[in-house]
């Protein structure tokens, strides 16, 4: 298979490159936003009364959404199915924080491997339920940034201090990758990147996994611009961000979260100009508003109209939603971009190759 001018023999998700050429694909929306609607208690997170496995676990675990694949799997499955019913081609596993590094906050680091495998199985089962011959569905293994940063000091008085090392991140991500693969994901999504060094640890772990196993799955990369300067938190512009990770030859490259679609547009336009990969964009439903039911103000009509503007101008290949988005947002986005053509992303069309 020739993709982006480079031979890619994917062992899973083989149909994705061609589908991205044919139409704009749809990613799901926010898992956390949907979980919030259930207003789960501490007992609910522990799975009580039906599941007593974590009844005696020390400390509060409310808010550990990744644990719900073990204690409330029916909720996670239902959310997956709601997004698939809304038109999502790709759904993300509920594993954004399912690394040993992140789970240490809840004293559950030892559960990371299990969380990832079970979460992948739930997402894969939902995809199989909704897949048809003309609309296959795909499960993306979600790999989040962790709460720690490898290139920024947590101590304003000590610029050289770090709260995590590259090797610790790499090992944690490798464990997550193995669990996601065992559970059946079709591709990997390294997302909401605010520190490029963290992302490099995840991508290094993926490269090691592919080399050692002989498997080769599509990789999606998505960063987050944190302010109006157009930079990610560790200081890179989107152009520098792309150039520091392009050697991975990702299937898609783009932005998510943070600013919302309206403020994200110039940065998506810049990536569309320079990248020879497919471009992804899944923004928040505007800027945060704690008074809103979802924590964000934008209605499905507003968000879909903004995302459709990207599609109309030929900037994107894959779109969806991040924080504050719901199945209604995804349905509106899917309906809006159905009439649009995907951005040409072949190497011969790239500014870089010119």
Tell me, rounded to whole angstroms, the distance of Cα 271 from its chain centroid: 18
Tell me, rounded to whole angstroms, the distance of Cα 25 from its chain centroid: 14
The Cα 293–Cα 214 span in angstroms is: 46
DSSP tag of 23? S
CA-nearest of 78, 98, 92 to 27 is 92
Identify the burial level of 197 via C-beta atoms within 10 angstroms of its C-beta, where 0-12 means exposed, 13-18 middle and 19 or more buried: middle
Tell me, rounded to whole angstroms, the distance of Cα 287 from its chain centroid: 19
Residues facing 266 on adjacent strands = none
User: Computed over its alpha carbons, how large is the radius of gyration of the chain?
Assistant: 19
The Cα 77–Cα 85 span in angstroms is: 12
Q: Is 257 annotated as a binding residue?
A: yes
DSSP-derived secondary structure for 46-63:
HTTTT--TTTT-SS--TT
CA-nearest of 201, 145, 139 to 174 is 201
The Cα 192–Cα 221 span in angstroms is: 9
The Cα 67–Cα 35 span in angstroms is: 12
Q: Is 275 annotated as a binding residue?
A: no
Q: Which residue in the block uniquely carries the two structure tokens 């030892």? A: 110
The Cα 120–Cα 135 span in angstroms is: 20
DSSP-derived secondary structure for 170-233:
HHHHHHHHHHHHHHT-SEEEEEEES-HHHHHHHHHHHHHHHHHH-----EEEEE---STT-B-T
3-state SS class at 301: helix
Non-local (6+) Cβ contacts of 52 within 8 A are none
Task: Say if CB 224 and CB 232 are below 8 A apart.
Answer: yes
Q: Phi and psi of 288, rounded to 5°?
A: -60, 145
Numbered residues of the known binding site? 257, 322-323
Numbered residues of the known binding site for Zn(2+)? 257, 322-323
């Amino acid at each position: 298979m020739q993709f982006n001018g480079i031979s890619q023999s994917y062992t899973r998700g083989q149909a994705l490159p061609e589908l991205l050429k044919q139409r704009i694909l749809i990613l799901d929306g926010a898992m956390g936003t949907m979980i919030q609607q259930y207003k789960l208690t501490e007992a609910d997170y522990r799975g009580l009364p039906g599941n007593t496995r974590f009844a005696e676990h020390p400390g509060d675990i409310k808010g550990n959404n990744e644990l719900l694949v073990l204690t409330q799997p029916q909720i996670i499955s239902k959310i997956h199915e709601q997004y698939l019913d809304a038109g999502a081609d790709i759904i993300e596993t509920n594993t954004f924080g399912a690394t040993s590094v992140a789970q240490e906050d809840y004293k559950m680091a030892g559960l990371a491997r299990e969380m990832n495998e079970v979460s992948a199985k739930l997402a894969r089962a939902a995809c199989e339920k909704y897949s048809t011959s003309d609309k296959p569905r795909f499960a993306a293994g979600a790999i989040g940034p962790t709460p720690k940063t490898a290139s920024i000091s947590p101590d304003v008085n000590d610029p050289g201090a770090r709260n995590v090392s590259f090797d610790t991140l790499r090992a944690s991500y490798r464990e997550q990758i193995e669990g996601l693969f065992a559970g059946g994901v079709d591709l990997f999504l390294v997302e909401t990147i605010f520190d490029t060094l963290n992302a490099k640890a995840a991508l290094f772990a993926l490269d090691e996994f592919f080399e050692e196993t002989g498997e080769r799955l599509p990789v999606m990369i998505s960063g987050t611009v944190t302010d109006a300067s157009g930079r990610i938190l560790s200081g890179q512009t989107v152009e520098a961000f792309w150039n520091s990770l392009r050697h991975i030859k990702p299937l898609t490259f783009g932005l998510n979260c943070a600013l919302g679609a309206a403020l994200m547009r110039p940065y998506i336009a810049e990536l569309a100009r320079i990248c020879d990969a497919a471009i992804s964009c899944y923004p928040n439903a505007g800027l945060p508003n704690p008074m809103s039911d979802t924590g964000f103000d934008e209605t499905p009509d507003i968000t879909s109209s903004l995302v459709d503007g990207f599609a109309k101008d030929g900037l994107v290949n894959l779109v969806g939603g991040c924080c504050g988005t719901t199945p209604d947002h995804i349905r509106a986005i899917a309906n809006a971009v159905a009439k649009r053509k995907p951005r040409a992303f072949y190497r011969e069309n790239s500014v870089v190759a010119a």
